[in-house]
Amino acid sequence: MASMLPLLLLLIIGAVLLLLLHRRSRQRRLRVPPGSLGLPFVGETLQLVSAYKSENPEPFIDERVKRYGPIFTTHVLGEPTVFSTDPEVNRFVLMNEGKLFECSYPASICNLLGKHSLVLMKGSLHKRMHSLTMSFANSAIIKDHLLLDIDRLIRLNFDSWSHRVLLLEEAKKITFELTLKQLISFDPNEWTESLRKEYVLVIEGFFTLPFPLFSSTYRRAIKARTKVAEALTLIVRQRRKESMVGEKKNDMLGALLASGYHFSDEEIVDFMLALLVAGYETTSTTMTFAVKFLTENPLALAHLKEEHDQIRAKKSSSDAPLEWTDYKSMAFTQCVVNETLRIANIIGGIFRKTMTDINIKGYTIPKGWRIIASFRAVHLNPDHYEDARTFNPWRWQSNSEATSPGNLYTPFGGGPRLCPGYELARVVLSVFLHRIVTRYSWIPAEEDKLVFFPTTRTQKRYPIIVKRREEPIPSKLP
């Protein structure tokens, strides 16, 4: 028995070598994009992670683009991966969703989001659900229905601010409350706040190894997900009962229940749970970044203030609600929003898997490979944007087609998986900026910096010292 062992080992090693050789020769035959697969198993994951943990992750891509060109091969997060920094290739990937490419997210994310979430749905079901979500967040609905709540909830949150605030934390509270309001018509209370605490744990689990045995963060995340799902299930059941007696609420859950698709509780809960992640994390981080970039660019901030003071000047009081026409008049704000998303796109790129061998730009990407279409690399490429790594909202004011910065710009993705909340996100960001610049002036309380891994955020949650701009005139003492 013992003498068999060396033989067995030899056989295994031989088989592995053969497999590797076969893979290598197939790759040579296919002319995959140039690059390096790095070390066995880990590939270049460590380099990627350490770059994205820093304030300036660009060198990881820059170095490889310089050496290999705009499309290169690497090996990250457990798989050989083609990185595209080429806007044409990225567009090709977006437009051939479901035909040549399909979503391929790390297992931890899939498990935590649930299989009925919009990002993991495929085919015709995805198409139906995507358009249902889009139709719920379209501009007519925002205008007639959501804007008022957005404005009200943002003001309500500001009322509790005093002196020093952790802006990222506050922004997250705001977007969580807004998203819950839009999904299930709940106003903020203790229940929503405890649900949010669980959510934080779920999101922390996104970029962990999906093995409960090894990662306590992942274990905690799975537990929190169960709690959130249970809480949402109760709501869904309650609402089913109400809808039986003809009560209808004008929110996302109402739209799902009235859609005629007969979803199960589990399907609805997965779907809403994931939308809550989508609405919560990305918009709040963008809000915080916008404020940070503006703070570091006093000229831009002054210009923005002027735009919003003008809107306020037409109102009877500082509390008078914003209207759709006000939103539509915020021209410079839109430049600030676009520029913030360009510089720090929260979803820096998308993960896809090839469904067949793909021939593109003289290369072949083998079937089953992962491709990361990096929007961030396009948005920060000096060939596409002048002084690409500087925050300059004015660049969006030039509206000549040829130099339009919008041509290569995909902060919300595109094609069949275009972010269904893109318009809503813009409105939320604009209203938030309106309220913060008209109510407060602020200074950073500490130095803080951006990091991009595991999620995009600022290291210290951006602490600021706020001061009300116009102190109310003190009433005379008797």
**CB-nearer residue toward ligand NAG: 134 or 451:** 134
Q: Examine residue 338 and tell whether it contacts ligand NAG (CB under 6 A).
A: yes
Tokens of 292: 């940070």
Tokens of 466: 């706020």
User: Least Å distance between CB 371 and ligand NAG?
Assistant: 23
| Amino acid at position 30, single letter | L
User: Least Å distance between CB 461 and ligand NAG?
Assistant: 27
Tell which positions 359-398 bind ligand NAG, by CB under 6 A. 396
Among candidate residues 391, 393, 422, the one with its CA nearest the CA of residue 307: 393
Contact 62, 31 (CB under 8 A): no
Q: Check whether 335 is labelled as a binding-site residue.
A: no
Contact 346, 282 (CB under 8 A): yes
Phi, psi of 444 (to 5 degrees): -65, 140
Our CA dihedral for 223, 227, 233, 236, rounded to 10 degrees, sits at -130
Question: Where does residue 216 rank: exposed (0-12), middle (13-18), buried (19+ CB within 10 A)?
Answer: exposed
**CB-nearer residue toward ligand NAG: 251 or 326:** 326
- For 3, half-sphere exposure in the C-beta direction (CA atoms, 13 angstrom radius) is 0
Q: Examine residue 158 and tell whether it contacts ligand NAG (CB under 6 A).
A: no
Tokens of 100: 């040549």
SS3 214: coil
**CB-nearer residue toward ligand NAG: 43 or 411:** 411
Return all residues near 117 (Cβ < 8 A) that are at least 6 apart.
270, 271, 273, 274, 275
User: Least Å distance between CB 333 and ligand NAG?
Assistant: 9
Q: Examine residue 335 and tell whether it contacts ligand NAG (CB under 6 A).
A: yes
User: Least Å distance between CB 426 and ligand NAG?
Assistant: 8
Which residue of 192, 217, 334, 455 would you call a contact of ligand NAG, by CB under 6 A? 334
User: Least Å distance between CB 335 and ligand NAG?
Assistant: 5
User: Least Å distance between CB 307 and ligand NAG?
Assistant: 12
- Rounded to whole angstroms, how far apart are CA atoms 466 and 468? 7
Q: Which stretch binds ligand NAG (CB under 6 A): 161-169, 232-240, 332-340, 351-359?
A: 332-340
Binding mask 401-430 for ligand NAG (x = CB under 6 A): -----x--x-x-------------------
- Edge-first strand listing for the sheet containing 101-103: 71-76, 79-84, 370-374, 349-354, 101-103
Tell which positions 80-99 bind ligand NAG, by CB under 6 A. none
**CB-nearer residue toward ligand NAG: 256 or 304:** 304
**CB-nearer residue toward ligand NAG: 322 or 425:** 425
Phi, psi of 80 (to 5 degrees): -60, 135
Contact 186, 272 (CB under 8 A): no
Size of the site for ligand NAG (CB under 6 A): 7
CA 56 to chain centre: 19
User: Least Å distance between CB 394 and ligand NAG?
Assistant: 10
For the annotated binding site for heme, the residues are 419
For the annotated binding site, the residues are 419
Binding interface with ligand NAG (CB under 6 A): 334-335, 338, 396, 406, 409, 411
